Structure 1
Amino acid sequence: PAERSFRGAQEKLSFDPEFTRKLRQDAAAARSTFFTYMLAAFQAYLGRLCDQEDLVVGVAAAAHNLPGNQSLVGHGISLLPLRSRLRPEAAFQDFLAEVRSHMLDAFEHQNFTFGTLVRKLKLERSLQRNTLVNLAFNLDSPLENLDYGPLNASTRPILRHYETFDAFINLKPLGQGFDFEWNFNTDLFEAATIRRFLEGFRAFLLTLSEHPERPIAELPLLPKEELERILRFGQGEAAEFPLHRTLHELVMERARQHPRKTAVRIGERSLSYGQLEKQSGRIARALVREGVQPGDCVGLCLERSEKMMAALYGILRAGAAYVPIDPRNPSARIRLILEDCRATAVLTEESHRASLPEFRGKIFTVEQLLRLRPPKSDLPEVPASAVAYVIYTSGSTGVPKGVPVRHESALNTLFAIDRMWQVQPEDRCYSVSSMSFDMSIPDYFLTLLRGAELTLAEEETKKDGFALKAALERLRPTLMQATPTTWKILLLAGWEGDPNLRAVAGGEGLPHEVAQRLAATCRAFWNGYGPTETTIYATWKRVQPEEKAPGEYVPIGRPIANVMVAVLDRQLRPRP
């Protein structure tokens, strides 16, 4: 939060005398104190939990040892920041030895105060968080047998409702057992989250005690029951889909059934299903005659148009994979994509041919291929395992990389989401997604293989919220996917939703405010999530009006059919 409130709460684990005795024996066998053993165990767990290898934890030291404080009466405590480097591949017993060594060094230099250290390091301070130490670890002294002579005395805990650290761990001896108290800042954590972390630490500690020689990376972060529950939750429903087919095969099958029905529309121009089949077939045969082989990559550098759709299907029918390229991309990016995917050809249009960079393969224009009259011949048989398209990521984290997607993978996603979207022949889909963005795949393929009508938004309309609003009110589509940003722009332009529209958001986190407005004003609204590498979508969630959930964004939902979702650490092991 921008301003800390210091509101706090506590959750705890209780360890019985038998297990406490075992832990003390383990610590002694490792030539360590119980406190150092528990600190090292918690640091190892925390490092795994946060996927972090450089940790700083504060431990308490008696300030009475400082010069001039020998006669001080009071609760004098100084904070020692203890820095540890966690190597997940190392055994816990080796990490414990390192923590023990660091602990001894810290206490040897405890006269160098925390304030002096902060000034020496010239650390930037902030009102939003503590400087250097955000988590403290402490062991209470036993307070059961207080000796005040003839005076009977007992202690009673006072529950803390504040917390100065993000988290404060306190080991509290109780008879022969102890409580592991996790005090936390409620601005940052919910009680249920801390309870799950504590149960995870219990499982971590139990396995650690039995197998101290194991690498830290192999110690569990979840109790067995929790792990099984998460794995069940992350498994999509098993479903039978015709994954032996191909994208273009299913669409061409539909085209032969309803050749006169409109398939694609943009502005005043359109293609019927029959025209789409005829033009894509002509392009496919021309490509094959010009040497394009099954399995080749063919760049597709076109403006949004009905010709783009004919070219896309033509490439697939030739047995090749299409590689979408935005004509507005810089020449360097276009060259990188063509070289990286080893494209053997590029399919473009006359207006962009001259602006393409030098290329070792062949360059064709749609106009050129449609003018040809290649003899009717059988097109290649394309297996479902063949790559259908290669989409390049934005490159925001470095050099763009291509993600090849097979026909069978794309079809699984399309059939899986259609169990919820339920595309019908009478539907009208309005597509605002760029060809280079995999959200376009359901628009370009699912719409047509179900016999519905696809309308491509014109480039200028996509960028203008008011123009987009006017287009939706004029065309009244029944299906539409868009990023949360696009939906927000539409709402800001005054669009009031449509009770006939089945809408989907994807590609970004979906804010609650946007989701609630769309769920309340559309026939149905879903939040879809999935990196390009997982084929468009991996999870879907239907958003209900007035639905409440913690956090800034709507949850991503459950896995779609035949998909498994898991949260893993860098060692590819399950984690909370």
Structure 2
Amino acid sequence: SLSHSPVFQAALSWLNTEAVGLSLELEGLTIEGVDAGQAAAKFDLTLELRETSEGLAGSLDYATALFDRETIERYLGYLQRLLKAMVENDSQEVSQIGLLDEGERAQLLESWNETKAAYPDASTIHGLFEAQVRRTPEAIAVEHEGRQVSYAELNARANRVAHALIGLGVGPDARVGLCVERSVELVVGLLGILKAGGGYVPLDPSYPQDRLAYMLEDSAPVAVLTQGLVREQLGMLSVPVLDLDGPQEDAEHDPQVTGLEPHHLAYVIYTSGSTGRPKGVMNEHRGVVNRLWWAQQTYRLDASDRVLQKTPFGFDVSVWELFWPLLAGARLVMARPEGHKDPAYLAATIEQAGITTLHFVPSMLQLFLDQVEAGRC
């Protein structure tokens, strides 16, 4: 913040002089000095102390651009408790003096840790999706550039992919690469991998080939799902490749994977690699279900909602965009590939598709709102 004092931020001033008051008496008139206070803070914090006949007196000046009154009053409480403890025992170490009052201690140790909440901890992501399919089989689940797929059709297509993957040896904690552009097939592939018991590894076809090659080598997938349009991005592969644009298995029933539990792998998302090589972060079903359940309890979706999926599926925000609406009976509207880079397109899509819910990180939201077209949303 530019409000910080540039050279140093905190000052302690000891006034080793007695406070002298101004008093002047004239016939019929008494004049007394008035403390006008500090008009402006010179530094972030300035503690001014002086000794009086009654003890220590002082004041704490602060920059209002950096601190509010409540924070400063809390700081003064810390100082008072520190001084009191020093008077009571001048041989104790300062580091051993407790600064928090009972209310603050209870807040830190108890109130802020009362986070346990009930959620379907025995469920998997795809298990909750299948339950929604049974509730609203004919409702539209996914929409992409004029194409609509019902919950029943989406489930059947994902099941065909799942059975094919099981035939290739995919099971609990097995990793399956997924290199697909944003489309209905992306959702089919994600659900198919989860239904087979595997964890998906997003391989964004817009990534450089060397990054994709590293992710494939590091994650060691059992198989890879892709589309004909982006297959060449992956180069030569030593594992089976399944083309989502091609024909699939005939089996459409929900697969029952033996031993699959909520603690098994759901996906592996790689970091940006800005501080070195990208690192794969593994997440389990139960963690994702917990997050999605919280979202549904806090910002409830229903069949009337339309959620825009715009985040590349190599980023964790995509997880909430993709699965949350499908567990709540809402409609998932897929933006076109690379559409997330075009604020005008996003604004038009939000308006035309009747989007009710979307997810932005603050920096991206500000960029979006800066566009003229955003005013229509």
TM superposition score category, shorter chain reference: 0.7 to 0.9
Q: 1:138 to 1:460 in 2, by over 3 A?
A: closer
TM-score by length of 2: 0.82
Which of 494, 500, 513 in structure 1 is aligned with 2:373?
A: 494
Matched, 1:384 2:262: yes
Looking at structure 2, the residues matched to 156 and 454 of structure 1 have their Cα atoms a distance apart, in angstroms, of: 67
| CA deviation string 1:207-238 (max 9, x = no partner) | 6775966694x665533322323556635665
Looking at structure 2, the residues matched to 404 and 440 of structure 1 have their Cα atoms a distance apart, in angstroms, of: 15
Matched, 1:319 2:197: yes
Matched, 1:371 2:248: yes
Matched, 1:483 2:361: yes
Which of 299, 303, 325 in structure 2 is aligned with 1:421?
A: 299
**The 10-residue stretch of structure 1 (418-427 or 281-290) with the greater mean CA deviation from structure 2:** 418-427
Q: Please, which runs of 5 or more residues in structure 1 have no aligned partner? A: 5-127, 147-153, 499-576
Q: Secondary structure at the match of 2:155?
A: helix
Q: 1:283 to 1:220 in 2, by over 3 A?
A: farther
Task: State the Cα distance separating 1:288 from its structure 2 match.
Answer: 1.6
Q: 1:477 to 1:185 in 2, by over 3 A?
A: closer
Looking at structure 2, the residues matched to 458 and 334 of structure 1 have their Cα atoms a distance apart, in angstroms, of: 21
For 1:141, give the aligned amino acid.
N
User: Residue 463 of structure 1 aligns with which residue?
Assistant: 341
Question: Number of paired residues?
Answer: 364
Q: 1:365 to 1:419 in 2, by over 3 A?
A: same
Matched, 1:234 2:117: no
| CA deviation string 1:154-185 (max 9, x = no partner) | 99966332343332223322336323532333
Looking at structure 2, the residues matched to 155 and 434 of structure 1 have their Cα atoms a distance apart, in angstroms, of: 67
Conserved? CA contact 2:15–2:50, under 8 Å: yes
Conserved? CA contact 2:322–2:332, under 8 Å: yes
Looking at structure 1, the residues matched to 239 and 85 of structure 2 have their Cα atoms a distance apart, in angstroms, of: 58
Task: State the Cα distance separating 1:423 from its structure 2 match.
Answer: 1.1
For 2:142, give the aligned amino acid.
V
User: Residue 129 of structure 2 aligns with which residue?
Assistant: 251
For 1:410, give the aligned amino acid.
V
Task: State the Cα distance separating 1:299 from its structure 2 match.
Answer: 2.1
Conserved? CA contact 2:202–2:269, under 8 Å: yes
Matched, 1:353 2:231: yes
Which of 433, 447, 452 in structure 1 is aligned with 2:325?
A: 447
Task: State the Cα distance separating 1:421 from its structure 2 match.
Answer: 1.8
Matches within 5 A, 1:293-304: 293-304=171-182
For 2:357, give the aligned amino acid.
L
Aligned residues with identical type, % of pairs = 29
| CA deviation string 1:475-532 (max 9, x = no partner) | 212322233424652562334455xxxxxxxxxxxxxxxxxxxxxxxxxxxxxxxxxx
Which of 15, 27, 39 in structure 2 is aligned with 1:140?
A: 15
| CA deviation string 1:360-390 (max 9, x = no partner) | 644433235x434579764334211222122
Task: State the Cα distance separating 1:317 from its structure 2 match.
Answer: 0.8
Looking at structure 2, the residues matched to 468 and 173 of structure 1 have their Cα atoms a distance apart, in angstroms, of: 65
User: Residue 26 of structure 1 aligns with which residue?
Assistant: none
For 1:489, give the aligned amino acid.
F
Task: State the Cα distance separating 1:204 from its structure 2 match.
Answer: 5.0
For 2:129, give the aligned amino acid.
V
For 2:158, give the aligned amino acid.
S
Task: State the Cα distance separating 1:267 from its structure 2 match.
Answer: 0.7
User: Residue 14 of structure 1 aligns with which residue?
Assistant: none
Conserved? CA contact 2:270–2:279, under 8 Å: yes
For 1:494, give the aligned amino acid.
E
Conserved? CA contact 1:432–1:482, under 8 Å: no
Matches within 5 A, 1:84-95: none
User: Residue 168 of structure 2 aligns with which residue?
Assistant: 290
User: Residue 311 of structure 2 aligns with which residue?
Assistant: 433
Q: 1:260 to 1:134 in 2, by over 3 A?
A: closer
Looking at structure 2, the residues matched to 235 and 195 of structure 1 have their Cα atoms a distance apart, in angstroms, of: 25
For 2:322, give the aligned amino acid.
Y
Q: Please, which runs of 5 or more residues in structure 2 have no aligned partner? A: 22-31
For 1:310, give the aligned amino acid.
V
Matched, 1:307 2:181: no
Q: Secondary structure at the match of 2:43?
A: coil
